[in-house]
A and B are shown apart, each in its own frame.
Chain A
Amino acid sequence: MPTQTSSVSRAPRPSSLADVLDLILDKGLVIDAYVRVSALGIELLTIDARVVIASVDTYLRFAEAVNRLDLTDTETAGIQGLTAEIGESGARSKVRGALEGAKEMTGHNGHDRERSSAGRRRSSDS
């Protein structure tokens, strides 16, 4: 199989403090009555890192970005072209076969989704 140029960066562990905190202060088993964290400033940091509320500034930034684009060479392939491109690399049949083999498993995939309400707030605002 030919070597593919990939744009995946890898790390064995989270590299940023925010990502570490997201794991160990926000996930995992917790016994409420026995939590003894003294974390001045930590709560704000995690909120800053995780919650982004759509704001006027964001909208203005989007507007500014779209206004300065030269739309004549717009590419619209998007991820919809993914299947075809993977197919070209010879992996299509493998992926399809694996998907068929995993039909039973896909039932629980995507359920229990964690979704930041703030992260989707924009859709209700717009």
Chain B
Amino acid sequence: MTSQARYVYAVCRADADVPTRDLATVGPARSRLHKVVHRHIAAIVSPYDGDWVPASRANLRAHTAVVDEAAARGAAVPVRFGVVMPDEVAVREDLLRPNAASLSRLLHRFEHVKEFRLQASYHDDVVIREAASADRTVRRMLHPAGAASRSGYHDQIALGEAVAAAVEDIQRRDEVELLRHLAAVTEDNRVLPVDPAVDAFGAAFLVADRERAAFERTVDEIATANAKRMQFHLVGPLPAWDFVELPFASEPDDPRALRTG
């Protein structure tokens, strides 16, 4: 691939400012960020010289920083790490033109909103205690007279399975409640996979800028009400990584076909 190639970071409005801060670009040498415009939309790109994009720390950081900066300046559709197109014609003809309508709709949706990721984990033993207390199967296995603690390997596995199932029920109920409480102050959500052994909850939320204070206040209220059983971690504002959804522009085997995570 020659230096005609373009590394793609994000799609934005044609009149958006290109991040001009002194940002590093993806690739071995610092290059110039610029836009490739098609009508009302544009791709933020930089020249790229190389056949492959190493997922190095520097490259990952550069990609993230440019997308962050683009989203901080206005609506931006993040592009996944590692997309290199052979030239600006390809950016225009294979990315922007065939998907212009869908991309414009996404940009409209991302106007004045940001993503936040909320994760919660249970304090040690709290959820185990709740499971043991509330689940009939677990209680039966534990009692009477500590039968489970005296039993063998396979009984312990069965007990652990019953606890795991009860924990999952609790996680599911917590998830429903958390989503219900946050629905009023969020535009949309995506439940994220969690580690069922330790995590309580994980979700990405699309939050309007005007609702941000109310959203954070609601998260605080939820965390305060659950302080004895959960701790919460809130990350953001982020570009709307989890909400990039587009219809296919063409057949999946067509190079112009876009897909999302």
Contact = CB atoms under 8 A, between A and B. Distances in A.
A9 B83 contact: no
Given A8-B219, A32-B257, A60 B156 contact: yes
Interface in B145-189: 146, 148-149, 156-157, 159-165, 167-168, 170, 173-174, 177-181, 183-189
Given A61-B197, A109-B188, A34 B179 contact: no
A126 interface: yes
A119 B224 contact: no
B16 interface: no
Contacts, number: 314
Contacts of A85: 224-225
A107 to B, nearest CB: 10
B197 A12 contact: no
A115 B202 CA distance: 10
Interface stretch (B17-25, B32-40, B235-243): B235-243
B69 interface: no
A44 interface: no
B230 interface: yes
A82 B230 CA distance: 12
A93 interface: no
Interface residues of B, number: 111
B167 to A, nearest CB: 7
A5 B225 CA distance: 10
B140 interface: no
Given A35-B83, A109-B186, A71 B192 contact: no
Nearest to B200: A79
B106 to A, nearest CB: 9
B113 to A, nearest CB: 13
Contact of A78 (B60, B132, B229): B229
Contacts of A126: 161-162, 164-165
7 contacts: A6-B224, A24-B80, A29-B80, A34-B8, A35-B82, A66-B142, A80-B177
